[in-house]
Amino acid sequence: MRTPLLAGNWKMYKTTGEARELVEGLLHGLGDVSDRKVLVCPPFTALHTVRDLVQGTPIALGAQDVYIEPQGAFTGAISPVMLRDLGCTYVIVGHSERRAIFGEGDDLIGKKVRAALTHDLMPILCVGETKPQRDAGEAETIVVAQVRAALAGMTPDQIARIVIAYEPVWAIGTGDTATPVDAQAMHATIRQTLGELAGTDVAAAINILYGGSVKPDNIDDLMAQPDIDGSLVGGASLKADSFLRIVHFLPTRG
Ligand code: PEP
């Protein structure tokens, strides 16, 4: 009942020319993807270029962050209205790099989720524990708290319009992926939490992505897990051949 979503987070990579080259490569090898959703999230500066290339194709466009106001004196910020204007339908919110490097906390992240929903952008809410937190046996507590904090006070209808990305911080950009079994366990916990917040029917329909050193050689095993509904991919989304192999994961689910 959930359509898998394969999303590329390009982070602060790709000039407009490089973005064009990557998207042309993706479109060249994409083929039939009618049973899955494909998304690219370029840096703000390449959104316009990528929008023109993906219009009318199966590739959707997303941004990597958004501010909470529609417009105003917020130097350097980008609003949800501007993202819609550029053709974005998704936005990543609360990525661990935003949390750790830019000091974003649960309160701001919750406001960003709401701002995205208000303007018809589907937020991809990122959650995940650090290595010390996992080693201390606190991973589930931390992740559940992040989900609850970001979604506090939301209606089931609102929660139904978000995507969650479980991204253990220690796995991002390190080559150290969570095992499929560990990732599945956390995804099941997140789905249970969503059920408590919005009801089991809503929870059963929400896409929960795994992110953290997903590569062509581990995507199939991850996607075989019943609660892993896709992936948010960083490094391996920067080259057409590796992202295409991830997009074309083998559907081994029963
Ligand atoms: C990410 O940026 O969300 C990510 C998961 O990065 P990587 O795939 O490089 O670990």
- Residue 178 DSSP symbol: P
95 is catalytic: yes
User: Using an 8 Å Cβ cutoff, are 26 and 240 in contact?
Assistant: yes
> CA 18, CA 92: separation in Å to the nearest integer?
21
| Residue 191 clears pLDDT 90, i.e. is over it | yes
Q: Measuring CA to CA, how many Å separate 10 from each of 100, 170, 237?
A: 18, 19, 7
- Residue 233 DSSP symbol: E
Between the CA of 171 and the centroid of ligand 1 the distance, in Å, is: 8
Average pLDDT over residues 149-171: 97
What pLDDT score was predicted for residue 43? 98
Closest atom of ligand 1 relative to the 165 alpha carbon: 3
What pLDDT score was predicted for residue 1? 81
Query: What's the full length of the chain, in residues?
Result: 254
Is the shortest distance between the CB of 216 and ligand 1 below 6 Å?
A: no
**Helix, coil or strand: residue 238:** coil
Residues 211-252: tens digit of each pLDDT: 999 999 999 999 999 999 999 999 999 999 999 999 999 976
Could you say which of 97, 104, 129, 167 is catalytic? 167
Is the shortest distance between the CB of 128 and ligand 1 below 6 Å?
A: no
CB atoms within 10 A of CB 252: 10
Average pLDDT over residues 122-144: 97
| Axis-axis angle for helices 139-151, 106-118 (nearest 10) | 50
Q: What is the mean pLDDT of the chain?
A: 96
**Sequence-ordered strand ranges (E) for 128-206:** 163-166
- Please, which residues bridge with residue 90 across strands? 62, 122
